[in-house]
Amino acid sequence: ISFMNELSNVADAVGADIEQVRIGIGSDARIGYHFIYPGAGYGGSCFPKDVKALAAIARRAGVPAVLTEAVEDVNERQKHVLVDKILRHFKGRDLAGKTFALWGLAFKPATDDMREAPSRTIMESLWAKGANIRAYDPKAMEEAARIYGSRPELTLCDRALDALDGADGLIVVTEWKEFMAIDTDELKSRMRELAVFDGRNIYDPRRMKAQGIAYYGIGRAA
């Protein structure tokens, strides 16, 4: 996962399309397509804990854990990639008063688990810059309310479309199926500014751009 995320950052820098790279890598039968999807970082209770534990065991044994520590470092940086793209889109301007729709709070689909979820890093980074969040997740709304309480910068919405109202950008963090068939007419009628920050590469960049929507994926510079 971290390898693909690092490749996606290279793709962004050189103007390549990570999807074409992914198809090429996965076509090798020795590798396949499982887990070679770039994104906004991994979370949950297993991967982060296990990587940290393995690195700690290696250090205690006096063995350099270069690769294991790099996996963790890449993942932590990856959780900030969408925020960096948002700042570039707004040309480094203050985000105070900006509102962002955020789809996906859980660290992966089919769970309400928000432990070390990328959504938390993204929201907290944007709040620190003065932004507001309108969030929706099919399962993790109660968990988000438990973690963040009645934080005024966070509005938990009943529907994905409701989160779009008055938004200056849409941030997709979790690849829930209901997010994949996006209605661009709804985006245009509800959002204040048409910008999509796709942390799971679930949308077609060409279709978005053809609809006049500024699109930022992970490694989809082309």
Q: pLDDT class for 46, splitting at 50, 70, 90?
A: confident
Share of the chain above pLDDT 70, in %: 100
Tell me whether residue 59 is in a domain.
no
Q: pLDDT class for 45, splitting at 50, 70, 90?
A: confident
222 has a pLDDT exceeding 60? no
What is the 8-class DSSP label of residue 85?
H
Q: Which domain holds residue 210?
A: 81-216
User: Catalytic pick from 10, 13, 31, 46?
Assistant: 46
Tell me whether residue 22 is in a domain.
no
Active site residue 46: yes
Tell me whether residue 221 is in a domain.
no
Tell me whether residue 151 is in a domain.
yes
140 has a pLDDT exceeding 70? yes
- Range from 37-41, 108-112, 143-147, 191-195 carrying the lowest mean pLDDT: 37-41
Q: What is the pLDDT of residues 119-134, one digit of tens each?
A: 999 999 999 999 999 9
* Distance between start and end Cα atoms, the chain: 21
The amino acid at 65: A
Tell me whether residue 33 is in a domain.
no
92 has a pLDDT exceeding 80? no
Mean pLDDT of 136-155: 96
Tell me whether residue 139 is in a domain.
yes
Tell me whether residue 143 is in a domain.
yes
What's this model's pTM, rounded to 2 decimal places? Answer: 0.91
- Range from 15-19, 71-75, 91-95 carrying the lowest mean pLDDT: 91-95
Mean pLDDT of 36-50: 88
pLDDT at 125: 97
Alpha-carbon gap, residue 164 to 56, rounded angstroms: 43
Domain count, the chain: 1
Tell me whether residue 47 is in a domain.
no
Which CATH number fits the domain that encloses residue 105?
3.40.50.720
pLDDT at 151: 92
